[in-house]
Amino acid sequence: MIYFKDFISFNKYIGLAEPLDNDIDVGYYDPPNIVLTSEAMMVDFYRISIKIKYRSKSTRNAEPISAVFFNTPDLVIEPGWDAEPTYSGMYLQLSKKVIEENRFLFKTYLDYGQHEALFLTDGEVREVSSVFELMYKYYESEKKDFGVLLSYANVLICLVEAFYKRQFSTDPKQYSRIVTDFQQSLINYYNQPVKQLPNVQYFADKLGLTANYLGDIIKHFTQKSAIENIHEFVAKKAKELLENSGMNNTEVAYELGFEYPNYFSKFFKKMVGVSPKEYRLQLNKII
């Protein structure tokens, strides 16, 4: 596996133009002059790669695709690639420093993962290309201002957000399955002894997705974040145990994976509106 720490070494290997900046790099692909076959690799920065009419040699009989791909630090691009020299496209590369200092501009999409591409319609390709043309023109100019470049990058990311929502809605059957699998995994979580509360990363790992990607799908289809769904399920489970298990409040807390009983009490009151003790008193009055 090859590991690239900066734009310069990566661009030289691929056959891309030399970057004009160490924190942001913008450019176009020129397939006849770049490496079309590579072994597995990893980069220590973020990449947004827009490939138009792209097709790998392993799928040469399939229709070419136009898609947005993401590469993030510590993500292995495996098994590399073996592309046909017929595609076009553009790329935006951002250092970890830029992302850390301006995370509010970039939302969650850069962490979706290499395998979770955004497929573009012809109209979306035109929109992305128009924004990119303006960004590239400014990037090459002598008057370039870092803030303006980041603004263009933000516009690009906002388009990606809109297009992902379209993709989620276009193929609801595929994404509804992910929601169903997430909900079933929640149920399965408490069918075994637990030592801690469930979290989004746990279910993302179970489903083979990144946490951000899973979270956005759950939010799109349920109108609530993944962690809100988890908390509501834990509160429902807590009610069941308080009503039927015969456990005291401390035992219920540990059964659900809370480290401290007082944290369970605060959580329950926030979710239900009353403390576990008050909830049981209300049950006794009803009975």
CA distance 12 to 19: 10
Mean pLDDT score, 237-259: 93
What pLDDT, on the 0 to 100 scale, is given for residue 114?
Answer: 53
144 and 191 share a domain?
no
CA distance 252 to 254: 6
Confidence tier at 61 by pLDDT (50, 70, 90): low
Task: Write down which residue in 151, 170, 189 finishes a domain.
Answer: 170
120 and 163 share a domain?
yes
What pLDDT, on the 0 to 100 scale, is given for residue 269?
Answer: 96
What pLDDT, on the 0 to 100 scale, is given for residue 36?
Answer: 78
Return the percentage of the chain with pLDDT > 90, whole number: 51
87 and 181 share a domain?
no
CA distance 12 to 191: 52
Task: Write down which residue in 140, 170, 200 finishes a domain.
Answer: 170
Residue 50 pLDDT more than 60? yes
Return the percentage of the chain with pLDDT > 70, whole number: 93
Residue 284 pLDDT more than 80? no
Q: Tokens in use for 247?
A: 């456990």
What pLDDT, on the 0 to 100 scale, is given for residue 264?
Answer: 96
Question: Any idea which residue has 């951000």 for tokens?
Answer: 212
How much is the mean pLDDT over the chain?
88
Q: Looking at residue 11, which CATH number applies to its domain?
A: 2.60.120
What pLDDT, on the 0 to 100 scale, is given for residue 218?
Answer: 94
CA distance 51 to 30: 11
Least confident span in 47-56, 111-120, 214-223, 272-281: 111-120
Residue 105 pLDDT more than 90? no
Beta carbons within 8 Å of 280's beta carbon, 6+ residues apart:
242
Residue 5 pLDDT more than 90? yes
Residue 80 pLDDT more than 70? no
Q: Looking at residue 227, which CATH number applies to its domain?
A: 1.10.10.60
149 and 216 share a domain?
no
Q: What is the pLDDT of residues 181-208, one digit of tens each?
A: 999 999 999 998 999 999 999 999 999 8
282 and 260 share a domain?
yes
Confidence tier at 85 by pLDDT (50, 70, 90): confident
What pLDDT, on the 0 to 100 scale, is given for residue 186?
Answer: 94
Residue 120 pLDDT more than 70? yes
Residue 6 pLDDT more than 60? yes
- The residue ranking higher by pLDDT, 31 or 135, is 135
What pLDDT, on the 0 to 100 scale, is given for residue 34?
Answer: 85
Please say whether the beta carbons of 264 and 247 come within 8 A.
no
Domain count of the chain? 2
DSSP annotation string for the chain: -EEE-SHHHHHHHHTPPPPS-SSEEEEE--GGGS--EE--EEESSEEEEEEEEE-BGGGTTSPPEEEEEEE-TT--B-S-EEB-TT-EEEEEEE-HHHHHHSHHHHTTGGGS-TT--EE--HHHHHHHHHHHHHHHHHHHSTT--HHHHHHHHHHHHHHHHHHHHHHHHHSHHHHHHHHHHHHHHHHHHTTS--SS---HHHHHHHHTS-HHHHHHHHHHHHSS-HHHHHHHHHHHHHHHHHHHT---HHHHHHHHT-SSHHHHHHHHHHHHSS-HHHHHHHHHHH-
Please say whether the beta carbons of 99 and 59 come within 8 A.
no
What pLDDT, on the 0 to 100 scale, is given for residue 107?
Answer: 65
Residue 168 pLDDT more than 90? no
Confidence tier at 256 by pLDDT (50, 70, 90): very high
Beta carbons within 8 Å of 251's beta carbon, 6+ residues apart:
245
CA distance 193 to 102: 41
What pLDDT, on the 0 to 100 scale, is given for residue 115?
Answer: 56
155 and 208 share a domain?
no
Please say whether the beta carbons of 8 and 19 come within 8 A.
yes
Task: Write down which residue in 137, 170, 203 finishes a domain.
Answer: 170
165 and 180 share a domain?
no
What pLDDT, on the 0 to 100 scale, is given for residue 76?
Answer: 76
CA distance 252 to 276: 10
- At residue 274's C-alpha, the angle toward residues 272 and 278, to 5°, is 130
Phi, psi of 153 (to 5 degrees): -60, -40
182 and 277 share a domain?
yes
Q: Tell me the pairing of strands 37-38 and 65-71.
A: unpaired
118 and 190 share a domain?
no
Question: Which domain covers residue 238, as residue numbers?
Answer: 174-286
Please say whether the beta carbons of 179 and 131 come within 8 A.
no
Confidence tier at 287 by pLDDT (50, 70, 90): low
Please say whether the beta carbons of 64 and 55 come within 8 A.
yes
